[in-house]
Every structure is written in structure tokens, then in C-alpha cells.
Amino acid sequence: MAGSAQPRTMFEKIWANHIVVDRPDGYTLLYVDRHLIHDGSYFAFQRLKSRNIKLRRPDLSFGTPDHYMPTDTRRKEDITNPNSRRMVTSLAIHGAETGVTVFDIGDRRNGIVHVVGPEQGITLPGITLVCGDSHTSTHGAFGCLAFGIGSSEVTHVMATQCLWQKKPKTMRITVDGHLGKGITGKDVILAIIAKIGAAGGTGYVLEYAGSAIRGLSMEGRMTLCNMSIEGGGRAGMIAPDDATYQFVAGRPYAPKGAEWDAALARWQALPTEDGAVFDREVTLNGPDIAPMVTFGTSPEDAVAVDGVVPDPAAATDVVKREGLTRALQYMGLRPGTPIGDISVDRVFIGSCTNSRIEDIRAAAAIAKGRKAVVPSWIVPGSGIIKEQAEAEGLDRIFKDAGFEWREAGCSMCLGMNGEIGRPEERIASTSNRNFVGRQGKGVRTHLVSPAMAAAAAVTGRFTDVRRLLD
């Protein structure tokens, strides 16, 4: 075949493997291998029910309530907002009616959907995976094509196990060299978004490559891919390697025995081939990346912790200048202020970006033997992570340091569950969006890594975590 001689990207291989039919107008019907569902999928279930349509493949769909569940309780009866209570309680009912496996509240496997998928071995290399949440890009860390879909698309996938998509372009972002001490996947992705802009990846699937990316743990890779959407990307992906296979092996829903051997052989053929052409290439130098802090209301508004709040007047583009001016007004910051001089009112360590065991360990390493000087929450990504952290004594470290150790869930990432800040409260947050009002009306969100958030908790301001590590 002439076409097979052409070197292909990992994305092109996965895309080609899932085409059901190409339409003349440029749309492709893609087969969906896994559909992840959360408590926000309530209306999709209702739509199917009202039309008497059965789920096409309930065995490939997995649900977990996370968005609407408060993290100070595991009792659904304690949810005070009746709408939230209905969303959370309905998921298990819908699961029982349709045959979808649901990791319900009270089940140790419950947690944030993008934490649970990989943890259970539902997320695998080479698959297509969708979910009605933008940060589905997280799963691309395993070398699969994973992206968020809208509510009507959720219904479509439930009914058909397929999805119409227009083929995106490809961008490779290469980060080479060793990352410095205390530099995490979160700093790398904030540095990338600061470079390409929040719309820089629009229309592209991003593949992250280079020695700095390969050196990241699976947790770090998930953090990186999680925020691909914040750089505008349709999805983010990283070629699977031994770290990927080790993470997946033995997980409950991962292939076993002969099926594992066959899967491994397929997965090893996935990485982008030498000479494959991307529509756009971007490079960053790993050793140049410092701990990052956002100062504005877009994830692209990120600078190194030893930097200063930029002056909007320096922006050449008038739209950018006006946007930055508005952002600084909202954030209550003056141009030229050193990031290290900005004090925080509160700290949130959690969300699908940074609530995995490695994130919790990194925060605990900073909290150990110190005291939080502002209210600080630790919200593990799943019940299993919570258990693991407790087995390692990390909860004790946090409690001794005055942090609040919570139950699993989305919590303050988006404040749909009543867990929000107060107007003008300044929060160091390990989540993924610093948009206006994301953590509550008037709340000022600064995105940082878990270690940087813990450093802010114990010093009351943005502090270069490398100093505390020394």
C-alpha cells in the first residue's frame, strides 16, 4: 500500500483506526471505545429515556458522581441544594436502569472522573475516549485520543457509541532537557500555555514530546494533558512507554494475560514515526522552566514565581492590552508587583489537574513540620488516593500542619457543589481555570502546582518552592 510508507503521527494512527465512515463535508463518524460519565450527564440520560432509546454499549460506559458532591461528607442526604442532590443521586439510578457501571458515593473507587478512569485501567493507550467535561484531555497522557464533548454529543454517544468529528490538525510541542528541582508537569503546561496562548492550540490535537516530557511520571503527564484544553487544544497526547505500561498493568479494567500481550504489541506500534509531519511545531527548553504562577484571568497569564505582574501598557495588541487591564482590575493587582509580594487568603489543592498521590506527596513534603497560615484544603482525587495517602501518613502531616483533609471530588475547582470562595478572596489553586468567577463570584484564582500551593499555605504568599525544598 502506497499510503503505509508515509510516516504517521500517533494521532493519525488512532484516528484511522476508529473511522466508521467519512462524510463528503469533511466530517468523520468515529467509533468511541470508552465513554466516561459524571453527575452532570443527568440530562443526557433523561433525553434517552424520554425517547425510549437504550444505551448502545453500557459495558463501555463508566460513571462517577464528582461535580455536584460536596467534599465534607459522603452522605447524599447531606447535600443541601436539591438540584445538586438530584444530580448526584440520579447517576446510580440511571446506571442501574441502563447497565452502566457507576462508582457511586460511598464506594472507595468514587472520585473525579478523570482520576477514576486511569486509576481503574479504563483509560488505555490507542483508544478513543470521550466524556462530557472539557478536561477529558487528561487521558491522552496514556497515548489515546481523549476529548470533552457537549451534552447533546453525550446523548449521541450513549445511543450510538459513535461521534461525528472534523479531523483536527496536529501540533507537536517538544520540551527537552532536565526539569529543575521542584518543577512539575503543572509548571511545564503553564509555561507552554504562556508561550502559545490560550487560543494557540485551537483546531489542533497537541502531542507532547521530548526528554523532559518522557521524564515525567504518569501523574505529571496527566496534569500536562489535562490543561491542553486551556491552550485551546482539542486534545493532548503523549506516546505510551514503559512508564505507561507499568501504570496500566494489573488495574481492574486493564487487559490481562494473553489479551495484555496482544494489547502491548498494539500499543508499542502507536508512537509517532520518525519523519512524520505535524502542522505546527513548538519547542521549549526544559531547564528554563521555573515554578509558575498565574496573575490574570486566563491560564495564559502565567509568569515565573520570581517575575512580576506585567504592565498591560507593554502589550502591542490593543485587545490584549484591554483584556489584561480588565484582568488586573479583577485580580486587584498592580503592574510591576513582584509575584512573591502577593499574599493569599486561601489555598485549594485538588481537582482533576492535581489531586493524585504524587501531587499530595509533593504538597505534604512542603507542609511537613510547618504550619498553614491561611485556610488550606487538600481534596484527594478519589477514595483510593485518599486511602493510599492515609496509609502513608500524609493526612497526619496535613492535619498537624493545620490543613483540612477532605473527601474526594471536584470541590473548589468550579464551585458547583457549594464549595466556593468569598468575593475578592485570593486563592492559590492547583485547578485548571482562573476564569472570572470560576471559584465563586469575585474570587481571585491563581493557578500553581501542588508544592507551590503548599508553599503559599505555609508562608501566606507566593513563595518559590525551591527555597523551601532546600
Judged by CB under 6 A, does residue 114 bind ligand SF4? Answer: yes
Shortest Cβ 317–ligand SF4 spacing (Å): 29
How many angstroms from the chain centroid is the CA of residue 96? 28
Candidate residues 8, 35, 76, 135; the one interacting with ligand SF4 per rule CB under 6 A: 135
- Of 283-291, 366-374, 384-392, 408-416, which part binds ligand SF4 (CB under 6 A)? 408-416
CB atoms within 10 A of CB 355: 31
d(CA 211, CA 209): 7
Judged by CB under 6 A, does residue 229 bind ligand SF4? Answer: no
Judged by CB under 6 A, does residue 432 bind ligand SF4? Answer: yes
Candidate residues 37, 112, 175, 302; the one interacting with ligand SF4 per rule CB under 6 A: 112
Judged by CB under 6 A, does residue 298 bind ligand SF4? Answer: no
Shortest Cβ 294–ligand SF4 spacing (Å): 15
d(CA 290, CA 340): 13
DSSP secondary structure of 49-114 = HHTT---S-GGGEEEE--SS--SS-S-GGG--SHHHHHHHHHHHHHHHHHT-EE--TTSTT-B-HH
Residue 454 grid cell: 503548599
Shortest Cβ 16–ligand SF4 spacing (Å): 29
d(CA 358, CA 378): 13
Candidate residues 12, 33, 66, 425; the one interacting with ligand SF4 per rule CB under 6 A: 66
Judged by CB under 6 A, does residue 410 bind ligand SF4? Answer: yes
Cβ distance to ligand SF4 smaller for residue 67 or 109:
67
**How many chain residues are in contact with ligand SF4, going by CB under 6 A?**
14
Q: Angle, to 10 degrees, between the axis of helix 185-196 and the axis of helix 218-226?
A: 30
Cβ distance to ligand SF4 smaller for residue 112 or 293:
112
β-pairing, 128-131 vs 27-31, is unpaired
Candidate residues 384, 413, 447, 451; the one interacting with ligand SF4 per rule CB under 6 A: 413
Backbone CA torsion sign across 91, 95, 96, 102: negative
d(CA 139, CA 128): 10
Shortest Cβ 353–ligand SF4 spacing (Å): 7
Candidate residues 41, 351, 434, 439; the one interacting with ligand SF4 per rule CB under 6 A: 351
- Of 23-31, 183-191, 297-305, 409-417, which part binds ligand SF4 (CB under 6 A)? 409-417
Cβ distance to ligand SF4 smaller for residue 209 or 227:
227
Q: Answer yes or no: are the C-beta atoms of 408 and 116 closer than 8 Å.
A: no
Shortest Cβ 135–ligand SF4 spacing (Å): 4
Q: Answer yes or no: are the C-beta atoms of 95 and 68 closer than 8 Å.
A: no
Shortest Cβ 70–ligand SF4 spacing (Å): 13
Judged by CB under 6 A, does residue 113 bind ligand SF4? Answer: yes
Give the per-residue SS3 of 200-227: CCCCEEEEEECHHHHCCCHHHHHHHHHH
Shortest Cβ 34–ligand SF4 spacing (Å): 16
Candidate residues 33, 39, 133, 230; the one interacting with ligand SF4 per rule CB under 6 A: 133
Cβ distance to ligand SF4 smaller for residue 305 or 384:
384
- Of 109-117, 170-178, 234-242, 252-260, which part binds ligand SF4 (CB under 6 A)? 109-117
DSSP 324: H
Judged by CB under 6 A, does residue 139 bind ligand SF4? Answer: no
DSSP secondary structure of 273-305 = PTT---SEEEEEEGGG---EEE-SSSTT-EEET
Candidate residues 34, 67, 139, 426; the one interacting with ligand SF4 per rule CB under 6 A: 67
The residue among 139, 116, 113, 138 whose CA lies nearest residue 127 is: 139
Cβ distance to ligand SF4 smaller for residue 131 or 212:
131
| Phi-psi map region of 419: left, alpha, beta (phi>0 left; psi -120 to 50 alpha) | beta
Q: Residues in the site for ligand SF4, rule: CB under 6 A? A: 66-67, 112-114, 133, 135, 351-352, 410, 413-414, 431-432
